[in-house]
Amino acid sequence: MNARERIRTILAGGTPDDRIGMNDTMWSSTIERWHSEGLPEGESAQNHFGVNDFCLLGADYSLMLAEKTLEASADYRIYTDHNGVTCKDHKLPRGWVTYPMEFAIKSRQDWQQYEPHMAFQPARLPANALSCYEQGTSQDQFIAFMSHASFHPVWELIGQENELVMMCENPGLVRDMADRIADVVIENYEELKKLGIEFDGAFLADDMGFRSGTMFSRQMYREIIFPAHKKICDHLNADDSPPILHSDGDIREFIPDIIEAGFKGLHPLEVKAGLDIQDLKSRYGGQLALYGNIDARVMAGTRADIEREISSKIPLAKEGGGYIYHSDHSVPDDVPLENYAYTIELVKEYGGY
């Protein structure tokens, strides 16, 4: 069974005939460390360890405004980005960090001025889309359309804190923006298909949780964000492209609505936010593929710590199908190459059928 067949089987509620699905992501600084510890130069960690069942292809959903530098020095840069947001980049010892300073969209009138920039244009599609697709199909990977869904793109336009306030004070505007962005996501999906890309599914990100709970109430989700999620999921499911939702944090309160919206999988199931594969499997097994929940913090510990984490979760998670391995977020740079190699060795051992 190849990766494409395996993931499609899992998302359809079946059990693969060989092993669980496997995919993972790492910090760029983690990859740098691993190259210094023996990971061959020029080889991706995903391919090296076989955690590469997915090939993700996306497109630009922004306003696509021209970026303009306003001020710059050796240590910082102030500019307006592709969404008209005034940002400041600060230089740090290990890279740069970006702080948004001012958002162009503050009202419905502003949105009406900028909304025409959401119209499709060919520049939304990445120049390497076809070559990435051909590489993915040559490896029999699961080809997934990748995008943020609707909540996250709105905060990129107006700011996260501003969006949460506006969901209380002007929910109709946030709902309208989310709905228009859903249209852009669907348009991007269809335009990529016109290039000759055949998708097996979708990976949609909308971070809606903090460590201690959801960012907003379930009622707000139902009234403001759910309609946009359902619009996207209805389109993808009708095209036999089952969607997976990525959300950081504790969004357990939303899971019944996420299932109703049409999502077929949930990722990354953060351990530090209180999500537990045993609880989720007992509640939603058969309704939702579970993707993740392997504590990345444990990977920096002892071999006994790592085996305890894998042996206590993978056998239960794989029972009856419906599970894909992933760290409970990206693998951080305190994880040695040797530890990660041992982690994946155990995942393969415990994850076989």
pTM (predicted TM-score): 0.95
**Contacts by 310-313, CB closer than 8 A, 24 or more apart:** 310/343, 310/346, 310/347, 310/350, 311/346, 311/350, 313/277, 313/278
Question: Is residue 107 a part of any domain in this protein?
Answer: no
Domain region containing 258: 3-62+121-350
| φ, ψ (nearest 5 deg) of residue 328 | -80, 10
Question: Is residue 83 a part of any domain in this protein?
Answer: no
Question: Is residue 44 a part of any domain in this protein?
Answer: yes
Question: Is residue 98 a part of any domain in this protein?
Answer: no
Residue 63 · residue 156 · CB < 8 Å: no
Question: Is residue 320 a part of any domain in this protein?
Answer: yes
Pairing of strands 289-291, 213-214: unpaired
pLDDT per residue rounded down to tens, the chain (353 residues):
999 999 999 999 999 999 999 999 999 999 999 999 999 999 999 999 999 999 999 999 999 999 999 999 999 999 999 999 999 999 888 778 999 999 999 999 999 999 999 999 999 999 999 999 999 999 999 999 999 999 999 999 999 999 999 999 999 999 999 999 999 999 999 999 999 999 999 999 999 999 999 999 999 999 999 999 999 999 999 999 999 999 999 999 999 999 999 999 999 999 999 999 999 999 999 999 999 999 999 999 999 999 999 999 999 999 999 999 999 999 999 999 999 999 999 999 999 99
Residue 178 · residue 158 · CB < 8 Å: no
Closest by Cα among 57, 56, 53 to 16: 53
Question: Is residue 206 a part of any domain in this protein?
Answer: yes
Question: Is residue 96 a part of any domain in this protein?
Answer: no
How many domains are there within the chain? 1
Residue 25 · residue 148 · CB < 8 Å: no
Q: Domain holding 37: CATH number?
A: 3.20.20.210
